[in-house]
């Protein structure tokens, strides 16, 4: 869906998405890294389980909700990636305690 | 990363580091006022100059001169003495000018003598059939990815809608080697006639030459279909096709990515939750705060600058930021105001920056069919409520957006009405034969962004706070 520009010379940052290693770039938000990864990163909504991807990428739509380092319902579009960050794609409702 | 503000109180707190917020914070700090600038993003710039301090797009003409103009304001605020905190989510502001801020998973409060809200704009909801499918995004979303991560579409891509941003985005995608298969222009033909009386003012504005150059660049490389109606996205679990009507012909094109845009509207959530009076704007078709000429709101001590004060664009936002900050300086430290440019200079600059705006507002006024959906089209993305669900609720007695919450939970999901509020107001107004002003809007309350109960519970408390709720 998206490709990286040849001009992009930022350093690589490695994150883990549902157990798999994914290469991101320093300064990417979690959502940008997920969309650039080419993986199926659709979440399932809490209400009907419908598949969704980020819509606005600027912090207003909440369709980018994702579990980051064990904390659920984070806005992936507002959180920059960090080395070793653990990402889980949310399927359905957030669980109690995370 | 800092975990809290350096002080407990400031002369001026500015919320939002886009054009208006950067200008306001710089002006206040340069006059010697203690100034705090809070911003939700990782770096300064807001949406227009997003990632200006970190973008991987190094070819300067790919993003354009208007983008790089922001660098000067970022430099100015950094040397102004203002304290700047990024990744700070403001979730509460009250009439005592106390501000609740979430930073790195913990919250704190700061007090201000003056608050300048520069929370900017968001893209107008574009509720067409299938707009919740994976692969349908806003044009602004694509532009955010382009600016901050150098990402461009590389599969089959359709851009649909209207307005200046759409053409700018298309030009930027093409410059960076991205793919656009088709542009579907939804501008209504009658808008061209309606806008004509305002054309002269626009032709003498800086937007005119730039706008036409962009459109020419894009049209040379991408097929553009005009007069598009009945736009719909479809697919099983993800976007597969885009269907539309143009010139009496229905067409379906395959698409992996559909980018929607029909203008921007003020981001009102924080201002409304503070109790600031807003009115329905019949030209811009959105809620705008009631302001005096300095940007002061109905709540003492709070001003609004930038697109959150009514859409005016980046140039106007900068000037409005300076006006609001100068007014704050005049109120708090009148002698220091002499260090700043006179108010008359700013007012003259504002008139110039706002020239041609009525033309754009009239030409790019979105058509009713793209604002007021029907049938199974989703209105509230969070709670998955359709237009028909809402009309059914109206039929059995829901009178306005707040009653509708009890019937259908619209606006009660995490986005708190940002993506459905305008649609709900207009849909209910139409169904009940009332004006949007009469129908009103959601009653918004803090926290305007979700925070966990654990975070709220961990906010430092005084003995008085504890005694107020502890039993016997």
* pLDDT tens per residue, range A58-98: 999 999 999 999 999 999 999 999 999 999 999 988 777 77
Residues of chain A in contact with residue B172, where contact means CB-CB under 8 angstroms, are none
The whole-number pLDDT of residue A94 equals 77
| A71 contacts B382? CB cut-off 8 A | no
Separation of alpha carbons B407 and B391, rounded Å:
11
The whole-number pLDDT of residue B200 equals 87
Pairing of β B9-15 and β B241-246: unpaired
| B152 contacts A3? CB cut-off 8 A | yes
The whole-number pLDDT of residue A81 equals 98
Q: Give the residues of chain B that fall short of pLDDT 50.
A: none
Nearest to A2 among B40, B145, B382 (CB): B145
The whole-number pLDDT of residue B1 equals 56
**Confidence band of A28 (pLDDT split at 50, 70, 90):** very high
B42 and chain A in contact, CB less than 8 A: yes
Q: Could you tell me where the DSSP H helices lie in B104-236?
A: 139-149, 164-175, 189-195, 199-203, 207-219
Nearest chain A CA: its distance from B398 CA (Å): 22
Q: With a cut of 0.95, is the ipTM above it? A: yes
pLDDT digits (tens, 9 = 90+) for B65-119: 999 999 999 999 999 999 999 999 999 999 999 999 999 999 999 999 999 999 9
The whole-number pLDDT of residue B273 equals 98
Cα–Cα separations (whole angstroms), residue B434 to B184, B425, B427, B466: 32, 10, 10, 47
Mean pLDDT over all residues of chain A?
A: 96
| A65 contacts B144? CB cut-off 8 A | no
Q: Take residue B395 and report the two structure tokens written for it.
A: 């039929």
| A51 contacts B134? CB cut-off 8 A | yes
The whole-number pLDDT of residue B462 equals 86
B26 and chain A in contact, CB less than 8 A: no
Nearest to A56 by CA among B419, B90, B51, B152: B419
Spell out which chain A residues touch chain B, with contact meaning CB-CB distance below 8 angstroms.
1-10, 25, 27-29, 32-33, 35-36, 42, 45, 47-48, 50-63, 65, 71, 73, 77-78, 80
B104 and chain A in contact, CB less than 8 A: no
Strand pairing partners for B259? Answer: B137, B159
* Radius of gyration for chain B, computed over Cα atoms and rounded to the nearest angstrom: 23
Nearest to B145 among A7, A10, A57 (CB): A57
Which of B136, B141, B176, B259 to mutate against chain A (most A CBs within 10 Å)? B141
**HSE-up of B309 (CA within 13 Å, CB side)?**
32
Q: Take residue B278 and report the two structure tokens written for it.
A: 């807003």
Q: What is the mean pLDDT of residues A22-27?
A: 97
Residue in chain A lying closest to B149 (CA): A28
Residue in chain A lying closest to B257 (CA): A1
The whole-number pLDDT of residue B244 equals 98
pTM: 0.97
Look at the alpha carbons of B409, B415, B419, B423 in this order and tell me if their dihedral is positive or negative.
positive
Nearest to B231 by CA among B156, B162, B155: B162
């Amino acid at each position: 869906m998206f490709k990286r520009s040849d001009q992009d010379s930022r350093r690589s940052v490695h994150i883990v998405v549902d157990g798999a290693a994914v290469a991101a770039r320093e300064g990417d938000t979690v959502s940008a890294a997920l969309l650039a990864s080419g993986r199926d990163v659709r979440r399932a909504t809490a209400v009907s389980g419908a598949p969704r991807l980020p819509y606005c990428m600027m912090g207003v739509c909440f369709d980018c909700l994702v579990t980051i380092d064990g904390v659920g319902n984070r806005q992936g579009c507002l959180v920059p990636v960090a080395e070793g960050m653990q990402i889980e794609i949310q399927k359905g409702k957030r669980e109690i305690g995370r | 990363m800092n975990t809290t503000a350096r002080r407990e109180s400031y002369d001026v707190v500015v919320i939002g580091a886009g054009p208006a917020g950067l200008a306001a914070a710089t002006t206040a700090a340069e006059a010697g006022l203690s100034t705090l600038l809070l911003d939700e993003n990782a770096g300064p710039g807001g949406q227009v100059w997003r990632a200006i301090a970190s973008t991987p797009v190094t070819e300067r003409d790919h993003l354009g001169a208007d983008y790089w103009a922001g660098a000067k304001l970022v430099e100015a605020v950094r040397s102004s003495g203002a304290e700047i905190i990024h990744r700070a989510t403001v979730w509460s502001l009250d009439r005592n000018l106390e501000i609740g801020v979430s930073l790195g998973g913990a919250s704190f409060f700061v007090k201000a003598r003056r608050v300048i809200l520069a929370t900017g704009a968001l893209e107008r909801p574009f509720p067409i059939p299938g707009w919740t499918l994976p692969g349908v995004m806003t044009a602004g979303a694509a532009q955010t990815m382009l600016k901050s991560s150098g990402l461009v579409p590389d599969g089959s891509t359709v851009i649909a809608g209207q307005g200046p941003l759409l053409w700018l985005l298309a030009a930027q995608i093409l410059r960076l080697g991205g793919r656009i298969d088709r542009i579907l222009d939804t501008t209504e033909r009658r808008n061209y006639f309606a806008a004509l009386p305002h054309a002269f003012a626009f032709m003498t504005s800086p937007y005119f030459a730039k706008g036409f150059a962009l459109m020419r660049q894009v049209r040379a490389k991408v097929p553009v279909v005009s007069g598009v109606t009945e736009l719909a996205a479809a697919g099983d679990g993800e976007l597969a096709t885009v269907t539309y009507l143009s010139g009496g012909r229905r067409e379906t094109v395959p698409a992996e990515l559909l980018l929607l845009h029909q203008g921007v509207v003020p981001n009102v959530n924080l201002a409304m939750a503070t109790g600031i009076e807003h009115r329905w704007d019949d030209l811009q078709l959105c809620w705008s705060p009631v302001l005096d000429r300095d940007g002061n709101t109905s709540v003492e001590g709070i001003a609004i600058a930038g697109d959150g004060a009514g859409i005016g664009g980046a140039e106007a936002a900068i000037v409005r930021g300076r006006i609001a900050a100068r007014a704050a300086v005049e109120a708090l430290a009148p002698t220091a105001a002499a260090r700043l440019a006179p108010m008359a200079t700013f007012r003259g600059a504002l008139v110039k920056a706002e020239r041609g705006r009525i033309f754009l507002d009239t030409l790019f006024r979105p058509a009713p069919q793209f604002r007021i959906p029907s049938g199974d089209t989703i209105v509230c993305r969070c709670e998955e409520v359709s237009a028909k669900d809402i009309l059914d609720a109206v039929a059995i007695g829901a009178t306005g957006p707040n009653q509708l919450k009890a019937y259908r939970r619209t606006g009660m999901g995490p986005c708190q009405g940002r993506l459905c509020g305008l649609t709900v107001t207009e849909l209910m107004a139409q169904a009940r034969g009332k004006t949007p002003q009469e129908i009103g809007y959601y009653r918004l309350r803090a926290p305007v962004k979700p925070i966990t109960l654990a975070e709220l519970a961990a906010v430092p408390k005084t003995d008085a706070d504890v005694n107020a709720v502890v039993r016997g």
